[in-house]
Structure 1
Amino acid sequence: MDNLTHSLIGAALGQAGLKRKTGLAMPALIIAANLPDIDAPCVLYGVESLAMRRGITHGPIALVLLPLVLAGLLIAFDRWQARRGKRPEGRLPVHTGWLIALCYIGILTHPFFDWLNSYGIRLLEPFSHQWFYGDALFIVDPWILAMLGAGIWLSRRRERAGADQWRKPAKRALIGICAYVLLNMAITTGAFKGLRYDGPNVQVYNPVPIAFWRREVLWRDDGERYVIDRPEFFGAAQSSITDERHWSDYKDFGPTNMSDPRITEWSKSDPAAKAFLFWSRMPVAELHDDHIILRDQRFLGSPASGQFTVTLRKPNP
């Protein structure tokens, strides 16, 4: 998910009452909720960063060690302020156990919400390079942002007014998010059950922005053709060409071209292409005599498609 969503999740947990457990609880929750994204500067490497993102900093070793590092830094910061006489008077005493616990709570929300979209996450890195996908939420979900934003704002407003029940709006927002996530997981599961397909097709149920109840159905047939279907309702599509449904019924379809032997040969000397092929869940190729354009089916037609495109050229002899 986007970092604003991660930050609001941490803030909502704090406003639900966790911020009263120890000093620096709110910074711990918000920073920890974003902490796995310390791999973000790798985007400076361009397309090659696709092989680095959502990997080792999102895996089990990082999820164990990073909260301890963050808690240590926050404790050191608190003591540094105290020595300089600049520690805020209203700050609660820092409880080491609670601070570490909150760092773990915050950081564990990150891989869960990253897993929920179709971009994917390598949850077991460095022990396994396998990608995991939830296909349940769009990467920037306005409904989640609205619920979290409203819950935090109402909670803060009540707290400033001295109301006893100031935690309730944040708690309700978090309950609403849980219900919303479960609903979207059920929609994706319903899409799986509502579709018919023949053969070993790759299936992706791509969430779309705003219209959370809809899914783009991405699949391939045994003849190495790809299809992007946009049914009115998630259970109304079929994922195989039948007598009732033909290629002309689909707006976006075409050959994947991934069996072209030049792709394997040329990519050996192209780090960007190797990174792309490692990352891509559904690669498609546009073939030319002197170059090949690689794209990912999930992002065809998306404004962000340019970020996920590689031009593969024949190596110099």
Structure 2
Amino acid sequence: MGRIIGGRPHRNPRARSAGDSVLVWWSQRMEPLTHFLTGACLGRAGLNRKTACATVVATLAAEAADLDILWGFDGPVEELKRHRGITHTLLGAPFVAALIVVVIGLGYKALERRRARKRKQPPEADDLPRSRRKPPLRWVWLYFVALIAALSHILLDWTNNYGVRPFFPFNPRWYAGSFMFIAEPIVWALLLLALILPWLLGLADREIGARRPLFRGRGWALFALSGELVLGCWRWAEHAEALNLIGGTEVTTSRITRVAAEPYPVNPWRWHGIVETSGFFQTAEVNTRSGSVESDPNLDLLYKAADTPAVEAAKQTPLGKAYLDWGRWAVVRDLGQEPIPGTTAPQLPAGRTWTTVEFSDLRFAYAFTGTGSARPPNGLTGLVYILDGREDGGEYIGGREQK
């Protein structure tokens, strides 16, 4: 059983620093570093011994699914609707892999033909022992490498709290492990170490005149990928413990209908808890190491407001439909006549009125970095102007208007 602690200093559970807003913006679009580094380590873990171009194909295929951010050119609502869509599915992954293989494979073949014409003779590498030759391009192996990397993207995106729809379009449900933070420095350090250390050791070998191995860094790559897996399993177990602590602690006397635990970076024992009842949401700070659940009913409650005609109208807008499809912990509020930051309020003739409706998601409404108390707009907050309680007067996400 957890122990609940009250009487903490005032803390706005929806407060965020500017650094937190940057991370939210990044999570909406993509977090490319983890995907690129994981792909590079997959290639160097031994697959580069099977075919030419394995590492570059694995690196690109591991991130290629996020090409769907190009929908952002069609507006922020389209980006929200399409992001982590078909390219992040089991159906789409084989096509994503094929695209990378065709582009890189054909480019490599063209480059080899160009080099052969310049040499006007067989390459010197043909005279090397088989153990010293680079492998030729093998299309089947190259596609296998790309497919593994493309599937790794879906798996990694599932581990964080944004979620994926791996079975879309047959099953539109979002799935989220919610046990890894969207940008995890420990994972970055592991993967970067595996890629940089072999290079540094290679410099030392050249200094002493040691024979340079054809493939370097396999052991380090396997070490980093294993570390990434172990960290994920550890966080998965701590996430389950956090949910148990919230459920086993009397956070509120009202009947709880569902709970969630959202991750913090670096610290696997620290979690942001959310509980829902019929009348309100309540947040808590959970420490699985000490078994504590910190929540103050006087400070950490967000009451559910009654739906107004403006809220009902906003839910039927393209932004509202896309947001409620994705936002598992969505909160919709009628803000009244509060202008959207960076915009001019609707100019209407006498007798007409407007109101602003806000869409937010409690999964991202906490201070990830623990700095600052301001609550600036972020990339995952949607705002809609509703005219006369029924008409769409403009839709905005992250300060961008949907044209």
The change in CA–CA distance for 1:260 and 1:200 in structure 2 (over 3 A counts) is: farther
User: Runs in 1 of length 4+ with deviation above 6 angstroms?
Assistant: 86-90
Aligned partner (choices 7, 10, 28) of residue 57 of structure 2: 28
Identify the residue that residue 217 of structure 1 maps to in structure 2: 273
TM-score, normalised on structure 2?
0.69
2:194–2:217 Cα contact (<8 Å) kept:
no
Q: Which amino acid aligns with 1:293?
A: E
Q: Of the two, which has the highest radius of gyration? A: 2
| Residue identity matched to 2:94 | V
Contact 1:267 1:312 in 2 (8 A): no
The corresponding residue for 1:82 is: 112
C-alpha separation in 2, matches of 1:258 and 1:152: 54
Indicate conservation of the 8 Å contact 1:39/1:53, yes or no: yes
List per-residue Cα deviations over 1:85-138 (Å, max 9, x = no partner): 379967631011110110111111100000001111111111121100101100
TM superposition score normalised by structure 1? 0.87
Between the two proteins, the alignment pairs up a number of residues equal to 307
- Alignment pair present for 1:149 and 2:161: no
Which runs of 5 or more residues in structure 2 are unaligned?
1-29, 126-133, 206-211, 249-253, 337-354, 368-374, 392-403
The 3 A distance-change label for structure 1 pair 263 and 86 is farther
Matched, 1:202 2:258: yes
Match of 1:66 among 73, 87, 96: 96
C-alpha separation in 2, matches of 1:41 and 1:125: 19
Q: 1:31 to 1:166 in 2, by over 3 A?
A: closer
Query: 1:274 aligns to what?
Result: 321
**1:1-317 pair list within 5 angstroms:** 2-44=31-73, 45-85=75-115, 92-159=135-202, 161=205, 162=212, 166-196=217-247, 199=255, 201-223=257-279, 225-233=280-288, 235-237=291-293, 247-248=297-298, 251-257=299-305, 259-260=307-308, 262-268=310-316, 270-289=317-336, 290-302=355-367, 306-315=378-387
Could you list the per-position Cα deviations for residues 66-89 of structure 1 after superposition, in whole angstroms to 9, with x for gaps in the alignment?
212222222211221133237996
Q: Which moved more, 1:136-145 or 1:228-237?
A: 228-237
Q: Deviation of residue 258 (structure 1)?
A: 6.5
Aligned residue for 1:85, secondary structure, equals helix
Distance verdict in 2 for CA 1:266–1:16, change over 3 Å: closer
* Residue pair 1:258, 1:283 contacting (<8 A) in 2 also: no
1:31-54 superposed Cα distances (whole Å, 9 cap, x missing partner): 110111110122331244211111
Unaligned runs of 5+ in 1: 239-244
Identity value in percent: 26
Alpha-carbon separation, structure 2, partners of 1:315 and 1:110? 42
Q: Compute the displacement of 1:257 (Å).
A: 2.5
Residue aligned with 2:177, SS: coil
Q: CA deviation at 1:26?
A: 0.9
Give the helix-richer structure, 1 or 2.
1
